[in-house]
């Protein structure tokens, strides 16, 4: 199989994403321990550690997605991207800008804006990287317009949306309502819309190459995915708006459009199920990638779509918004709609040209099981804690601090789940590193 230089460059992105994912697991585990033991000695205060964790949660998938898009656009078009030099510059720019956020927060330098607490110039650097990314993809599509495919178009559209939603967040917006609204364009719309479009190409390529779905079925799903994801992501964000000062009808708008998010993922599940019934012969590399994809589909249906839809029902949202239920949903949604797919794409790209032996494959599956077990334990503990929090504080009217003191058992369970998750995290990253090392000659020869 021919390898393009863009695909060799894509390996840098996915390797960096895997390493940052490993770092995030450690940071999150330390934060969970600090929440249980407030006086735990730490060079970085809890609030800044939490900011680093939230920043990692968004930026390692972004870096991994960039590599995946370059890899699968060049594969889909069967052509090289417009500028390899821009792709290399973009990598160092986005990596440096991302690391600068973590460095500044480690030195207690930030702007106090939840989820986007780094300094504005760091996000300006990421926006510039996304601008280079978008320009490179647009010029590639224009140059090879006779070969444009649905997957290439949808991935490029997702990239442009990542840029457009980030730009307002570089600015200092004095109106608190406008500031909160633009924040949710990254916190929610990135994950529920832009990232879903950028990872669609990976899913399409994997399903086609493994014979799990035919080309026509994949293209129909891609068009539907694009239409419904844009509508649902854009207007589904509205369930946040009421709580920051928007009119009440945004609760209904957000609730209604959140329902549409169920449709494309349900069709994808049916397509994969139909393909698996054919019992295609898959190698260990394809099976390990499939395990990560199936993990994503499970949480996408349950945690992102169904749970997300339930908690956007206005009379439920009234009690649940801002509790630990939101945190439990966020963990499930992140790994459902994005995290496991980026990990699957990273492994798929970095293991190209290799086939893990049975022992290596079993270790990879063990890592996936630990990730799933830890995520379920963490999220279940957070959901129970959130339900008790909502019932006692918002229904019974108990004092907020009194309620929180009664939740420590569930926070300990959350930390235990985090320990299991981090174990799987580090084991999977180790397997990805081994695959990268073993596949380096194949990538270099091309």
Residue appearing with tokens 């420590």: 408
pLDDT at 1 (0 to 100)? 64
Which two structure tokens, joined as six digits, stand for 108? 């207690």
Q: What integer is the mean pLDDT of 375-399? A: 93
Q: Please check the confidence at residue 441 and state whether its pLDDT lies above 60.
A: no
Residue appearing with tokens 């929440």: 35
SS3 sequence of the chain:
CCCCHHHHHHHHHHHHHHHHHHHHHHHHHHHHHHHHCCCCCCCCCHHHHHHHHHHHHHHHHHHHHHHHHHHHHHHHHCCCCCCHHHHHHHHHHHHHHHHHHHHHHHCCCCCCCCCCCCCHHHHHHHHHHHHHHHHHHHHHHHHCHHHCCHHHHHHHHHHHHHHHHHHHHHCCCCCHHHHHHHHHHHHHHHHHHHHHHHHHHHHHHHHHHHCCCCHHHHHHHHHHHHHHHHHHHHHHCHHHHHHHCCCCHHHHHHHHHHHHCHHHHHHHHHHHHHHHHCCCCCCHHHHHHHHHHHHHHHHHHHHHHHHHHHHCCHHHHHHHCCCHHHHHHHHHHHHHHHHHHHHHHHHHHHCCCCCCCHHHHHHHHHHHHHHHHHHHHHHHHHHHHHHHHHHHHHHCCCCHHHHHHCCHHHHHHHHHHHHHHHHHHHHHHHHHHHHHHHHHHHHHHC
Give 309-367 pLDDT, tens digit per residue.
Answer: 888 888 888 888 889 998 999 899 889 888 999 999 999 999 998 889 999 999 999 99
Give 40-49 pLDDT, tens digit per residue.
Answer: 777 788 788 8
Give 48-59 pLDDT, tens digit per residue.
Answer: 888 888 888 889
pLDDT at 445 (0 to 100)? 36
pLDDT at 293 (0 to 100)? 94
Instruction: For 409-429, give one letter per residue: b (16+ CB within 10 A) or e.
Output: ebbebbbebbbbbbbbbbbbb
pLDDT at 71 (0 to 100)? 95
The values of phi and psi at residue 41, to 5°, are: -60, 130
What mean pLDDT, rounded, does the chain reach?
90
Q: Which CATH superfamily is domain 5-445 in?
A: Cytochrome c oxidase-like, subunit I domain (1.20.210.10)
The structural domains of the chain, with segments of one domain joined by +, span 5-445
Give 99-152 pLDDT, tens digit per residue.
Answer: 999 999 999 888 888 888 889 999 999 999 999 999 999 999 999 988 899 999
Q: Please check the confidence at residue 446 and state whether its pLDDT lies above 60.
A: no
Distances (CA, A) of 100 to 105, 128, 328: 8, 15, 28
SS3 sequence of 177-218:
HHHHHHHHHHHHHHHHHHHHHHHHHHHHHHHHHHCCCCHHHH
Give 205-227 pLDDT, tens digit per residue.
Answer: 899 888 898 888 999 999 988 88
Give 233-245 pLDDT, tens digit per residue.
Answer: 888 888 888 888 8
């Amino acid at each position: 199989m021919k390898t393009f230089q863009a695909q060799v460059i894509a390996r840098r992105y996915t390797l960096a994403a895997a390493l940052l994912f490993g770092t995030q697991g450690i940071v999150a585990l330390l934060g969970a321990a600090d929440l249980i033991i407030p006086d735990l000695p730490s060079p970085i205060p809890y609030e800044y550690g939490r900011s680093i964790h939230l920043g990692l949660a968004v930026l390692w998938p972004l870096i991994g997605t960039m590599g995946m898009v370059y890899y699968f656009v060049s594969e889909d078009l069967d052509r090289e991207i417009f500028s390899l030099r821009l792709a290399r510059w973009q990598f160092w720019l986005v990596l440096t800008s991302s690391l600068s956020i973590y460095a500044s927060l480690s030195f207690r330098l930030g702007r106090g804006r939840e989820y986007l607490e780094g300094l504005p110039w760091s996000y300006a650097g990421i926006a510039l990287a996304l601008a280079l990314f978008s320009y490179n993809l647009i010029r590639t599509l224009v140059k090879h317009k006779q070969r444009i495919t649905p997957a290439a178009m949808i991935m490029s559209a997702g990239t442009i949306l990542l840029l457009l939603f980030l730009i307002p967040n570089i600015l200092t917006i004095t109106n608190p309502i406008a500031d909160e609204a633009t924040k949710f364009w990254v916190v929610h719309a990135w994950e529920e819309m832009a990232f879903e479009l950028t990872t669609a190409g990976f899913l399409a390529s994997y399903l086609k190459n493994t014979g799990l779905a035919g080309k026509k079925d994949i293209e129909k799903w891609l068009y539907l995915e694009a239409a419904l994801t844009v509508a649902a992501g854009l207007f589904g964000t509205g369930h946040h708006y009421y709580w920051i000062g928007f009119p009440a009808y945004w609760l209904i708008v957000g609730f209604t459009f959140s329902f549409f998010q169920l449709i494309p993922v349900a069709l994808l599940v049916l397509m994969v199920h139909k393909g698996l019934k054919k019992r295609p012969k898959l190698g260990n590399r394809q099976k390990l990638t499939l395990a990560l994809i199936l993990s994503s589909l499970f949480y996408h249906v349950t945690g992102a779509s169904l749970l997300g839809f339930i908690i956007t029902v206005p009379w439920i949202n009234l009690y649940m918004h801002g509790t630990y239920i939101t945190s439990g949903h966020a963990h499930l949604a992140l790994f459902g709609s994005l995290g496991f797919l980026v990990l699957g794409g990273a492994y798929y790209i970095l293991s190209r040209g290799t086939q893990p032996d049975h022992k290596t494959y079993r270790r990879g599956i063990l890592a996936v099981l630990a990730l799933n077990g830890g995520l379920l334990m963490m999220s279940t503990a957070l959901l129970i804690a959130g339900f008790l929090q909502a019932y006692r504080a918002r229904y019974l009217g108990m004092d907020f601090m009194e309620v929180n003191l009664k939740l420590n058992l569930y926070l300990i369970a959350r930390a235990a789940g985090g320990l299991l998750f981090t174990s799987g995290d580090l084991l999977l990253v180790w397997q990805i590193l081994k695959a990268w090392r073993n596949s380096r000659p194949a990538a270099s020869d091309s």
